[in-house]
Structure 1
Amino acid sequence: MNLIDYFNPINIKSESQGALEYEDTLASQISSLNEGVDLASFNLAILGIEDATNSPFNKGCSEAPNKIRKYLYGLARTSRSLSIIDLGNVKGNSIGDRYLALEEVCKRLLGANIVVLFLGGSQDYLIPFTKILASENKVTLSMIDNKVDYSFDENRFDTYSTISQLDRMLSFDRLNVSVIGAQRYFVGSAQEELFQEKKWSVHRLKDVSIGRIDNTEPIFRDSQIICADASAIQSNFMPSIGSSSVNGFTGLDACKMMWYAGLGSQIKVCGLTECNTQVDDGLKGAMLYGQMAWHFIEGVAHNTWEVPSENSKNYKIYVLRLQEYEVDVRFYKSRLSDRWWCEHSNGHVSSMIACGEKDYQQAKKGRMPNCLSRYR
């Protein structure tokens, strides 16, 4: 497979704008796709999606990739070394063509251990990436959104049915979903009940914003795919989507979440979607997405890819007895990053679950920590 056949290339230097000298910009750190490129030399790949077929009320998100690039590439180089390639914008005469192209591209990039950042398009474009990742292992998908994109109408196929499409496409043991920033009045009772039944999670805006943005870090740390919908951000920061709300994440919180996303130990794919530049007042939304993308890239550059082990001197280990449940819970705290994990066993296999210090404090009081609630 020749990657260049799947993309319309980008002139990176022409996409850069800002006050910095070119050699100080992120653009100077990024390579373009060409015939002789060696993928093995890159850590992260950027690609654009110029399509809004499945976002019927947000058609302008097809124009977002290059406008986001203009605000991204003029920002500073990463503070740590990171090799980046911009593949360009994916080709295709139909949404089916682009889905198939992205599946093939995803196989190639993930096979080379390259993190993918896609810009623009509608949220359903995370489907081909999720499908490929779930073909080998269970995948955890975190969606930053003010609503739950699950439809009980099996004939509906658009951005508002993304989760339901994946649910019907993948076997029951291949998908775990977290929605981050949901606003209660946008979530139906049937959607809530389904998430509880499947032990998926909905994190309401009040629990992950207003000084609580750090609560998102453990969620992202266990996620392979993270996708932001522009509707999750306050309309004064993201005036570029028909379904925006006066409530939502601030620009600062959105950037901090992307930093956490880039630091995630299992991150494979991140998408910034649904930014409608046709109605984007002063291109504030494109500017914010550019800065969010920069924070994600900077997070990847700082990623330490920690994996706790009882044999490692890099972790403090705490074992707490939950008398009510007659079970011991083991916590790991990194001496390098101060991050926490909780060990979970199903009786046969043990796994590490990302958590926060508050989970440890809950266990100290004899309560089942929130990080283990879905396994009960």
Structure 2
Amino acid sequence: MIDFSHLQDFLRPVSKTQINDDEPYEHLQIGSSIDVYEEDNIPDLDAADIVLLGAGETRGNGLPNGRTDAPDVVRREFYRLFHWHQDVRLADAGNLLSGRSLNDAYAAYKSVVTELIDAGKTVIILGGSHDLTYAQYQAYAMKKYIIEVTVADALIDLQETEVRSQNFLLNMFMEQPNYIRHYNHIGFQSYFVQPRMLETLDKLRFDCYRLGKVRENIEEIEPVLRNTDLFSVDINMIKHTDAPASSLSPNGFSGEEACALSRYAGMSSQLSTYGIYGYNPDKDRDNLTAKQIAQMLWYFMDGRSVKNKEAQLIHRESFLEFHIAFTDIDTIFLKSKKTGRWWMQLPDKNFVPCAYSDYLLASNNEIPERWLRSQERL
């Protein structure tokens, strides 16, 4: 059971009235059904499947007193969407207090998120700067949870600089003891990334997916996110025309592709935290980027609704089973009758998420790269 009185020390309530300009929400709008931490209301987090948490901290961008109202701007757009997924219950825990220093902000973030994870909740963080991903990771490290991390970002934040939002991955990878079982990077744009950086990540058996490669067949990323515990998004992964607040590049994922990635994350039974960072309302136009993020959240809920219908692998009657032999290796592929998703068996008899393309390769006596990479990590 979640002790909200303890969490209150780190949180500031929000006001639905202020967010929606004193207008009431229509029936079935998210704002009318979400249980929000307000001055006169303590939310029942125990009843929620997904908990929203605002984290407007931006001192990691090198701004000494940096804080943004980005979480509330996104809430304004998200609360106005209609709640189609009645099997997905939402709560909003409010906004994290800043703290006197950036490390204080990290500590508050870590404490709140850890308690929510331990209670079995999926936490969506409406964030400030991207370095808050480090605090997101620390929530797991504090309990010694060994996790898979996925970041979607046009950049790879391993820069040699004192700006934390540009080097936080270095801290995550170098920290000892380390609890990252595997790391995936989605959507990097090659011209922004030092080639040797990719060589280093490859030597660590980490997987990096170039923007163009992902866009060729975005469904190939669904198995990656299905196996992810921590998902972190920098909105600079979206091209400028679809997210005006993202001014890094004219290229990137489209708004629809960003929603697809968010839906895949929601479909994961493994994922417990999803942070969306880098949104600056001052750079937005007509709140289009806030609307984009709100719709990504809606699609995350859509994915969670699909996940709720998925059977567990132990219920073999809910799966089609295919016995395949490739290059003298006997293995099994499973296909869900309910969602059409695929899994493949490794030599240790465990199943890992895969795609239909992996099954086709194995059927043609070829070793799927996903199978090979998984086996190398073992």
2:153 is the alignment partner of 1:145: yes
Q: What CA distance in whole angstroms lies between the structure 2 residues aligned with 1:310 and 1:320?
A: 20
| Sequence identity percentage | 24
Separation (CA, whole Å) in 2 of partners of 1:158 and 1:122:
9
The secondary structure found in structure 1 opposite 2:313 is coil
| Aligned position for 1:188 | 194
Alpha carbons 2:57, 2:105 under 8 Å: kept: no
Q: Deviations over 1:283-321 (max 9, x none)?
A: 221121111122112322332374653662011122221
Change (3 A) 1:3 1:354: same
* Counterparts of 1:89 and 1:333, CA distance in 2: 41
Q: Which residue in 1 is equivalent to 2:235?
A: 230
Contact kept, 8 Å, 1:61 with 1:274, in 2: the verdict is: no
1:358–1:170 distance in 2 versus 1, CA, 3 Å? farther
**Aligned ranges 1:98-109 → 2 under 5 Å:** 98-109=105-116
Q: Is the 8 A contact 1:17 1:73 kept in 2?
A: no
Deviations 1:323-361 (A, max 9, x none): 2xx322321111111100112235xxx432111000111
Q: Which amino acid aligns with 1:86?
A: D
The aligned residue for residue 272 of structure 2 is: 268
What are the within-5 Å matches in structure 2 for residues 291-330 of structure 1? 291-304=295-308, 306=310, 309=313, 312-323=316-327, 326-330=328-332
Question: Partners of 1:18 and 1:287 in 2: how far apart?
Answer: 20
Report the counterpart of residue 96 of structure 1 in structure 2.
103
Determine whether 1:39 maps to 2:41.
no
The answer as to whether partners of 1:72 and 1:287 remain within 8 angstroms in 2 is yes
Letter matched to residue 87 of structure 1: A
TM (norm. structure 1) is: 0.90
Deviates more, 1:27-36 or 1:6-15: 27-36
Distance, in Å, in 2 between the alignment partners of 1:179 and 1:14 is 37
Residue pair 1:180, 1:204 contacting (<8 A) in 2 also: yes
Q: Which amino acid aligns with 2:372?
A: S
Provide the TM-score with structure 2 as the length reference: 0.89
For residues 200-239 of structure 1, the aligned pairs below 5 Å read 200-209=206-215, 212-239=217-244
Does residue 351 (structure 1) correspond to residue 350 (structure 2)? The answer is: yes
Match of 1:29 in 2: 33
| Pairing 1:158-169 to 2, within 5 Å after superposition | 158-169=164-175
Task: State whether structure 2 residue 75 is matched by structure 1 residue 69.
Answer: yes
Residues 38, 282 of structure 1: alpha-carbon distance in 2 compared, 3 angstrom cutoff: closer
Is the alpha carbon distance of 1:18 and 1:318 closer, same or farther for their aligned partners in structure 2, counting shifts above 3 Å?
farther
SS at match of 1:22: coil
- AA aligned to 1:340 is W
Stretches of structure 2 that go unaligned for 5 or more consecutive residues are none
Question: What does 1:48-59 align with in structure 2 at a 5 Å threshold?
Answer: 48-56=54-62
Report deviation, 1:161.
Answer: 1.3
Contact 2:234–2:276 (8 Å) recurs in 1: yes
CA distance in 1, matches of 2:64, 2:246: 6
Question: Is the Cα–Cα contact under 8 Å of residues 36 and 42 in structure 2 kept in the other structure?
Answer: no
Distance 2:298 2:287 in 1: 17
Given that 1:308 and 1:341 are in contact with CA atoms closer than 8 Å, whether structure 2 keeps it comes out as: no
- Tell me, in whole angstroms, the C-alpha distance in 2 between the residues paired with 1:357 and 1:17: 48
One-letter identity of the residue aligned with 1:372: W
1:117 maps to 2:116: no
SS of corresponding position for 1:281: coil
Moved more, 304-313 or 246-255: 304-313
Asked if 2 retains the 8 angstrom alpha-carbon contact of 1:145 and 1:180, the reply is yes
Q: Which amino acid aligns with 1:150?
A: L
Q: Separation in 2 of the partners of 1:80 and 1:219?
A: 27
Q: Is the 8 A contact 2:319 2:336 kept in 1?
A: yes
**DSSP-derived class of the 1:62 partner:** coil
How much does 1:59 deviate? Answer: 9.2
Query: How far apart are the structure 2 equivalents of 1:329 and 1:363?
Result: 9
Shift of 1:208: 1.4
TM-superposed CA distance for 1:279, in Å, is 1.4
Q: Which residue of structure 1 aligns with residue 369 of structure 2?
A: 370
> Quick one: distance in 2 between partners of 1:176 and 1:235?
30
How far did 1:171 drift? 3.6
Residue 64 of structure 1 deviates from its aligned partner by 1.0
SS, match of residue 272 in structure 1: strand
Question: Is 107-116 or 123-132 further displaced after alignment?
Answer: 123-132
Aligned residue type for 1:117: I
Could you say what secondary structure the match of 1:51 adopts? coil
Are the counterparts in 2 of residues 362 and 369 from structure 1 also a CA contact under 8 Å?
A: yes
Q: Does 2:132 align with 1:128?
A: no
Deviations 1:89-142 (A, max 9, x none): 101222211211122112211111110001121111122221232443321111
